[in-house]
Structure 1
Amino acid sequence: MFAAIASGNPLQLSTEVPNSNGLQHTIVLSSTKPKSYSHITLFILPNVTFPDNFIATVYFKLSPNEDFKIFGYLGNEKPSAIFKVKLPSAASLGQPPSGYGDGLGEIDMDDNIGGMGDSSNHNISELIIGISIEPRDQGMMKINEWKAEQQASKSSSSSLVLSRPGMQGNVLTVGQLATAYPKLTQELAAKIVQHAYNYLSGFLDAAGNVSIKRFDTWWDKFKTRLANDGTFLDEVTSS
């Protein structure tokens, strides 16, 4: 009834779950190449007639032992959806303290709402898609509640709020961050300095100086890239 394609991998059909009171179909992306794709396309098969008063709510989880998390829906008006998969670097998997980092990174629906993270060291090839066919009103109520939660999460994400076992309260300032995670803060500072050095060293004049305008250009580019994908810092090395 449904199928999914992870970019660069073969199409995989859904399997019906017998005697299920919840998810009636699952797709296990077990034969995919780990960490080798960036998008998953999920769709209703062309020969399937889907009733207008029903939708298929879509869920994800990373292993059989985890709970499914809702991430969108399919229906007659939306027979397919593209999910963007953003993986963290290998260095971040399982390394940060509890509460830090995402095992999967994130999965976004094609309407750019949503994201999933997990602190365990999971392999993307373990991704399991669950699909539940349910009355439209009931399903859309779940979708709308989920979207409201995602929007609320985004609106509160402008402040850095972290917690650490044994600490009182949350980490809200860079000074508190440095106190809570001194080694990680030192590594972050070193990466930023090294990134600046790598960029500016290409503009040295005969006296070994660099125009301040070059620094301003680096800073503007750095802030933009950091906002788009901070994981690039994991790849910064001495040149």
Structure 2
Amino acid sequence: MFAAIASGNPLQLSTEVPNSNGLQHTIVLSSTKPKSYSHISLFILPNVTFPPEFVATIYFKLSPTEEFKLFGYLSVEKPSAIFKVKLPNQHPTNPIDGLGEIDMDDDNPINNVPSNISELIIGISIEPREEAMLKLQEWKEKQQVENSNSALVVSRPGGVGNISTPGQLAKIYPLLTQELAAKIVQHAYNYLTGFLDPQGNVSIKRFDTWWDKFKTRLANDGQFLDEVTQD
């Protein structure tokens, strides 16, 4: 159903995963030479009629023991994709063995790919369109955050992205905005529950104190929100 070509190497067809009813496939690029990679092309075979209500999500891993990582998709409107491969610390005249960063075809990179690998395993999962596109949207939002050093940069009017209001932020990053709001509420809850009176109430002054401390800490290191959990 699918095939992949690592540049400079022969085409390799996908293999159906047993007991998956044709919904899962793998392609193992083990007989190729990673040091010669510049791009990997992945596509639906021409004789395959791909159902429009499904999407083929694409994953990869560098050994059988690793977990698959999401890295793109194919569908009836997108039957092929080219993924760029970067070798770590590669000099144009002195390439080294190993696979470096793998960029999704829309230039969203997957980082921290180690060198000196012997194979690349591509996993393909055929999923209902709505579920797959939601998963891909969540992945893209997380990639955008990770690519900015885990900091969400909000620009001034006229700046990159023209994000200047909370509403604009929520429109572009709806899932991350929900997660951010939940983290803030949970942080306030964790703090204020330590000051409950016998009737279960908290003085508004305690809330004001929390808010002042929260703003100061947010300005100094916003990543502390990643550590907020339910008590």
Instruction: Calculate the TM-score normalised by the size of structure 1.
Output: 0.56
Structure 1 residues 35-82: Cα deviation after superposition (integer angstroms, max 9, x where no partner): 112100000000000111100000000000100000010001100000
State how far apart, in whole Å, the 1-side matches of 2:8 and 2:138 are. Answer: 33
Name the residue aligned to 1:108: 103
Larger Rg: 2
Change (3 A) 1:58 1:19: same
Q: Which one of the candidate residues 118, 127, 130 is aligned to 2:120?
A: 127
Over 3 Å off, 4+ runs: 20-23
State how far apart, in whole Å, the 2-side matches of 1:35 and 1:41 are. Answer: 16
State how far apart, in whole Å, the 1-side matches of 2:147 and 2:112 are. Answer: 14
Change (3 A) 1:21 1:149: farther
Which moved further from structure 2: 20-29 or 71-80?
20-29
Name the residue aligned to 2:7: 7
**Structure 1: 5+ residue runs without aligned partners?**
92-102, 159-239
State how far apart, in whole Å, the 1-side matches of 2:82 and 2:59 are. Answer: 13
Residue 17 of structure 2 aligns to which amino acid in structure 1? V
Q: Which one of the candidate residues 123, 137, 141 is aligned to 1:144?
A: 137
Give 1:30 shift.
1.0
Change (3 A) 1:19 1:122: farther
Change (3 A) 1:62 1:142: same
Residue pair 1:39, 1:84 contacting (<8 A) in 2 also: yes
Which moved further from structure 2: 31-40 or 62-71?
31-40
Pairing 1:32–2:27 present? no
Residue 57 of structure 2 aligns to which amino acid in structure 1? T
Residue 114 of structure 1 aligns to which amino acid in structure 2? P
**Structure 2: 5+ residue runs without aligned partners?**
92-97, 152-231
Structure 1 residues 71-114: Cα deviation after superposition (integer angstroms, max 9, x where no partner): 010001100000001011489xxxxxxxxxxx732111111113
How many pairs align?
A: 145
Give 1:154 shift.
1.8
Change (3 A) 1:52 1:151: same
Structure 1 residues 146-181: Cα deviation after superposition (integer angstroms, max 9, x where no partner): 0000011122368xxxxxxxxxxxxxxxxxxxxxxx
Structure 1 residues 113-166: Cα deviation after superposition (integer angstroms, max 9, x where no partner): 1313234x532x4100000001000111110010000011122368xxxxxxxx
State how far apart, in whole Å, the 2-side matches of 1:39 and 1:21 are. Answer: 30
Instruction: Give the 3-state SS of the residue equivalent to 2:4 in structure 1.
Output: strand
CA RMSD of aligned residues (A): 2.3
Name the residue aligned to 1:41: 41
Instruction: Give the 3-state SS of the residue equivalent to 2:35 in structure 1.
Output: coil
Change (3 A) 1:83 1:66: same
Residue pair 1:104, 1:117 contacting (<8 A) in 2 also: no
Change (3 A) 1:153 1:22: farther
Residue pair 2:34, 2:99 contacting (<8 A) in 1 also: no
Residue pair 1:86, 1:105 contacting (<8 A) in 2 also: yes
Instruction: Calculate the TM-score normalised by the size of structure 2.
Output: 0.58
Instruction: Give the 3-state SS of the residue equivalent to 1:130 in structure 2.
Output: strand
5 Å matches for 1:1-239? 1-20=1-20, 24-89=24-89, 104-119=99-114, 121-123=115-117, 125-156=118-149
Instruction: Give the 3-state SS of the residue equivalent to 1:43 in structure 2.
Output: strand
